[in-house]
């Protein structure tokens, strides 16, 4: 049995230039591991086939990761993943695993291995964290080990691309993600009620990004769309469009209809975390 399981999903870290831009490169990650693996530590790489850009990650992929994590009896797990949806996967794994018995460490990079960027350092940090014995779900990135539950990707280019918002861990409501139709929707000034109604009519649940501490436009048609969707069984969970601070129900009259309609309070949850928790609760 290897000490570390590396679940290689894809992502920038193992890519090479191709005719249409960066694409997965065969053997790139394995070559790097040969030089970065700590002395005396063994690893096994379990690759997605085919490797995928993280823009294509789906809840079924989270279930595959969870299956492989649960089946592994070694010291730690690394999930090599693209950065674009890293916050979604971090929230999903942390919500489903609760408190794992070993470190589960997400790892990616803004530039590929061998390009003189951040990839080697991030991978080395992930390897060190995976054998540290510090159980939990983490992100190893830019010299820091962050809790994965409330990640925010705040920069699309710089190496220090992530920060972690404080979140309260909750016991998992399920261990795998069911096939449900969910989406993150955002309020915006002038949003047509018909557009919101049409989106909600296609969903089993939605995370609704609302204004500030929990307000929405005082529009009878918007309010009706929310009420009707909830009455038909669509779960709607509100989070703030602000990165920190969360929601304060009943603070403003402009938010009263949210809670009267039956919209759930996501508190300080990020949209990614709210989506993961809502999906688990529907699973």
Q: pLDDT tens string for the chain (283 positions)? A: 789 999 999 999 999 888 988 888 888 999 999 999 999 999 999 999 999 999 999 999 999 999 999 999 999 999 999 999 999 999 999 999 999 999 999 999 999 999 999 999 999 999 999 999 999 999 999 999 999 999 999 999 999 999 999 999 999 999 999 999 999 999 999 999 999 999 999 999 999 999 999 999 999 999 999 999 999 999 999 999 999 999 999 889 899 999 999 999 999 999 999 999 999 999 9
Q: What is the pLDDT of residue 184?
A: 98
The answer, as to whether pTM is greater than 0.85, is yes
Domain ranges of the chain: 4-164, 182-281
Rounded distance, CA 265 to CA 251, Å? Answer: 13
Q: Could you list the beta-strand ranges (E) of the chain.
A: 4-8, 15-18, 21-24, 43-47, 76-80, 103-107, 136-141, 144-147, 151-153, 162-164, 182-186, 205-210, 235-240, 264-265
**Nearest partner of 104 among 93, 120, 88, 118, judged by Cα:** 93
What does the block give as tokens for 12? 């920038």
Domain 4-164 = CATH 2.60.40.10: no
Rounded distance, CA 199 to CA 225, Å? Answer: 10
Which residues on neighbouring strands pair with residue 215, listed in sequence order?
Answer: 211
Q: What is the pLDDT of residue 250?
A: 81
> What's the order of all strands across the beta sheet hosting 144-147?
43-47, 4-8, 76-80, 103-107, 136-141, 144-147
Domain 182-281 = CATH 3.40.50.40: yes
Are 4-164 and 182-281 the same fold in CATH? yes
Q: What is the pLDDT of residue 24?
A: 83
């Amino acid at each position: 049995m290897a000490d570390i399981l590396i679940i290689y999903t894809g992502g920038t870290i193992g890519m090479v230039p191709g005719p249409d831009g960066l694409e997965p490169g065969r053997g790139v990650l394995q070559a790097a591991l040969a030089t970065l693996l700590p002395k005396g530590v063994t690893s096994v790489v379990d690759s997605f086939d085919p490797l995928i850009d993280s823009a294509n990650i789906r809840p079924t992929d989270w279930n595959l990761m969870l299956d492989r994590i649960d089946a592994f009896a070694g010291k730690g797990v690394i999930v090599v993943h693209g950065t674009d949806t890293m916050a979604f996967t971090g929230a999903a794994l942390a919500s489903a695993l609760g408190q794992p018995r070993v470190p589960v460490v997400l790892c990616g990079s803004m530039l590929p291995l061998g390009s003189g960027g951040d990839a080697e350092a991030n991978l080395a940090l992930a390897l060190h964290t995976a054998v540290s014995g510090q159980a939990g779900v983490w992100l190893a990135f830019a010299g820091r080990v962050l809790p994965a539950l409330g990640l925010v990707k705040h920069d699309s280019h710089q190496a220090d691309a992530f920060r972690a918002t404080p979140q309260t861990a909750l016991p998992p409501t399920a261990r795998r993600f069911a096939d449900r139709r969910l989406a993150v929707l955002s309020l915006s000034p002038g949003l047509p009620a018909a557009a919101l109604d049409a989106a909600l009519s296609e969903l089993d649940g939605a995370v609704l990004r609302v204004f500030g501490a929990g307000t929405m436009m005082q529009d009878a048609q918007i309010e009706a769309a929310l009420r009707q969707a909830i009455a038909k069984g669509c779960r709607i969970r509100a989070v703030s469009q602000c990165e920190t601070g969360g929601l304060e129900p009943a603070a403003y009259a402009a938010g009263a209809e949210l809670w009267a309609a039956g919209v759930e309070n996501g508190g300080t949850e990020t949209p990614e975390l709210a989506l993961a928790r809502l999906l688990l609760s529907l699973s």
